[in-house]
Amino acid sequence: MTPSSHRIDAGLWAILAAAVVFAAVLVAPRVLDGGDLYWHIAAGRWMIENQQVLRIDPFSFTFQGQPWETRDWLAELLLAAAYVGAGWGGVLALAAAAGAGGAGLLAFQLARGRRDVFTAIWLMLAVIIAADAVKALPYLLALPCLVAWTGGLLRTDEKGPSLKLLPVMLVWANLSSSFVIGLALTAVLAVEAIIAAKDNRLAVARSWAVFLGCALVFGLITPTGAPGLVHAIRALTVAGPVGSLLPLLVALPAASVLLPRRSLWLRFVFLAGLFALALTSAMGRLFFAAAAPLFGAGPQQAEELKLQGRPLTALIFLAVIAAAIRIVLPVERLDDAATPQTALMQVPAAIKRQPVFNDAAFGGFLIFRDVRPFLDSRPLYFESFRNRYAAVKAPGLLANTLTRYHIRWTILAPGNPAVKLMDGMTGWHRLYKDQWAVVHIRNGAR
């Protein structure tokens, strides 16, 4: 009996990983945390109701009517359909399915011809890094595309990448603006393949050029087209504060594999860029957790995806039952830093329809509740506008802003410096306060 006969086949690894991740995401309400999910669902709901893709802002009162083409339209439709059809439980089920798809594909890629211990270690490290980055947002729905694209390109032989991968790019580009990561990886591997080629360099260059050109075309087949691609590139270059050092758990072993092999220096450069993104964003951490093990795992043996009938049937059956239970059992959304629902309930309906000055973190929830915010987290508002908002800490500037925009009420986080200014502002009174939000209303507003 050979040692390989004791190895769990890649298909079973895929089923096991998918089952574990599906169950974990399904029972983790924190996957719904954050304010961005609210406006993504609102955008999808608007598109369903109006039967068209968003091209102007219909939500805020400060930038209403300004050009705004949503770049994650397909993911927003899926999120909205899940919410409208099955509430927050439906959104959790959708997120669980996307996470399971990504985990299953990753497990299969890692297990192809490798020892089980090796596969288990890489998967464990990936889960640790990705745990706090799993959110019900468009980038999570695009995770299976990232894994399928990366794994497919890394398996490329001397004939060049398979054109069968191109539909993955089409779906990815319409799900999330993160598809530019896939285009960048393609360019890196194309240059690497051309440099490595000797006798047939021209043929290799031709095959990769055709594939890269087709991938770019497929990436542009979106409602936003070329402007969407430009925006996606700009979004990836915006650096934020370091949020986590956990990506080092995968970065170090992956680098130890790539660095000694001089022919793979371009892969190392790409991985370093993805690592930098992982340090500053949740999307980066999730994608790095999935891609880095594929880079660090080394060459794969050719092994077709064979899913054993009984385990696969059991997984599907249990997943359907678990999703149904999750949908039936209500998911209660409580007040938090992005969800001031109790505070908003205290505001009279007539007042809600009037201009509001809100904390930026509350913008998504206000949109979700059909209240037009002053500001939210969407990439819609000019940088100068955001800077003026951040500077409203002096009584004069705040008073000028309230007057200029005809503000009738405010809803701010207790720690916002503007709260104390509002308490002392003539013609205003505090309506409500809790640990999450403070509401002020202009005297006489109705």
pLDDT digits (tens, 9 = 90+) for 381-432: 988 898 888 888 777 889 999 999 999 999 999 999 999 999 989 999 999 9
Most confident of 13-17, 230-234, 420-424: 420-424
Query: Do 245 and 350 share a structural domain?
Result: no
Answer whether residue 333 is part of any domain.
no
Percent of the chain with pLDDT over 70: 92
Half-sphere exposure of 340 (CA within 13 A, CB side): 28
126-132 mean pLDDT: 88
pLDDT at position 308: 55
The first and second tokens of residue 297, run together, are 């795992």
Q: Which residue has the higher pLDDT, 445 or 163?
A: 163
| Cα 401 to Cα 358: distance, rounded to the nearest angstrom | 12
Query: Do 304 and 228 share a structural domain?
Result: yes
Q: Which residue has the higher pLDDT, 384 or 328?
A: 384
Host domain of residue 172: 3-322
Task: Report the first-to-last Cα separation within the chain, whole angstroms.
Answer: 82
Mean per-residue pLDDT of the chain: 87
Domain end: 295, 322, 349, which one? 322
Q: How confident is the model at residue 111 (pLDDT cuts 50, 70, 90)?
A: confident
Question: What is the three-class DSSP state of 430?
Answer: strand
Query: Do 308 and 361 share a structural domain?
Result: no
pLDDT at residue 157 above 50? yes
pLDDT at position 323: 76
Q: How confident is the model at residue 4 (pLDDT cuts 50, 70, 90)?
A: very low
pLDDT at residue 287 above 60? yes
Query: Do 228 and 102 share a structural domain?
Result: yes
Query: Do 222 and 140 share a structural domain?
Result: yes
pLDDT at position 113: 62
Answer whether residue 334 is part of any domain.
no
pTM of the model: 0.90
| Cα 433 to Cα 340: distance, rounded to the nearest angstrom | 10
pLDDT at position 307: 54
Strand order in the sheet with 356-358: 356-358, 409-412, 438-442, 428-433
pLDDT at position 71: 86
Smallest CA-to-CA distance from 188 within 267, 258, 263 is with 267
Query: Do 346 and 268 share a structural domain?
Result: no
Query: Do 410 and 365 share a structural domain?
Result: yes
Place of tokens 């890394």: 154
pLDDT at position 172: 96
Q: How confident is the model at residue 40 (pLDDT cuts 50, 70, 90)?
A: very high
The first and second tokens of residue 112, run together, are 């192809």
pLDDT at position 300: 54
Tell me the per-residue pLDDT of 49-83, one tens digit each, with 9 for 90 and over. 999 999 899 999 999 999 888 889 999 999 999 99
Answer whether residue 315 is part of any domain.
yes
Domains identified in the chain, total number: 2
Query: Do 275 and 225 share a structural domain?
Result: yes
pLDDT at residue 293 above 80? yes
pLDDT at residue 312 above 70? no
Q: How confident is the model at residue 124 (pLDDT cuts 50, 70, 90)?
A: confident
Burial of 299 (0-12, 13-18, 19+ CB in 10 A): exposed
Domain end: 293, 322, 351, which one? 322
Domain end: 322, 351, 379, which one? 322
Residues 95 and 103: beta-carbon distance below 8 Å:
no
pLDDT at position 409: 96
Q: Give the number of other Cβ atoms within 10 Å of residue 177's Cβ.
A: 26
Q: How confident is the model at residue 132 (pLDDT cuts 50, 70, 90)?
A: confident
Query: Do 432 and 310 share a structural domain?
Result: no
Answer whether residue 332 is part of any domain.
no
pLDDT at residue 182 above 80? yes
